[in-house]
Amino acid sequence: MQLVFASNNKNKIIEIQSILPDTIKILSLEEIGCFEDIPETADTIEGNAILKANHVTEKYGYNCFADDSGLEVDALDGAPGVFSARYAGDQKNDDDNINKLLTQLSAEKNRKANFKTVIALNLDAQQYLFKGIANGTITDHKKGSNGFGYDPIFQPDGFDKTFAEISLEEKSAISHRAKAVKELISFLHTI
């Protein structure tokens, strides 16, 4: 089976392809000739995943899936949430986003947070949603050089390392994205 993954984020594509079985091949937006930025104007993570999947299906005619993820921090009432990628501005700079978050949490004792991923799958004129959540805490400084986004400051529950300190294989077993992708895979095996 071949599906378009509505992303040009090479890190995300590598991470998801490493989780999928060999029977599912994903194509990036670039591979189908989609070079425009798909608007992410919804006010929820679910809404943005749906917008991206619908864009590809309606404009290019492919079965596809799209994800949207966000970091939800308890002490900030769920922020940055849907604005995670552009928390410190439209330049979408990981370091700027991390620095802003660490500054906002500098005097905060409650550092509980979760990463949430929602995948919208458009398959044969039907839409399905899958969700994955990874609970953890925000560290007080960056640790590790693997991963991307908020990985250097997110320490998943049950670990003494951040997502940026563990291998891709370890992360793929426990991450929010991995959990949502595993739900997607389970569903695809039933059809």
Please count the other Cβ atoms lying within 10 Å of the Cβ belonging to residue 122.
24
Backbone angles phi, psi at 51, to 5 degrees: -55, -45
Cβ neighbours of residue 145 closer than 8 Å, sequence gap 6 or more? 152, 164
Q: Which one is catalytic: 68, 90, 124, 157? A: 68
User: What one-character DSSP code corresponds to residue 39?
Assistant: P
SS3 37: coil
Cα–Cα distance, 76 to 58 (Å, whole number): 36
Q: How far is CA 72 from CA 12, 26, 125, 143, 151, in A?
A: 19, 28, 32, 19, 13
Task: Locate 70 and state its tokens.
Answer: 């966000």
**Which residue in the block uniquely carries the two structure tokens 């979760």?**
114
Active site residue 124: no
Would you name the residues annotated as active-site residues? 68
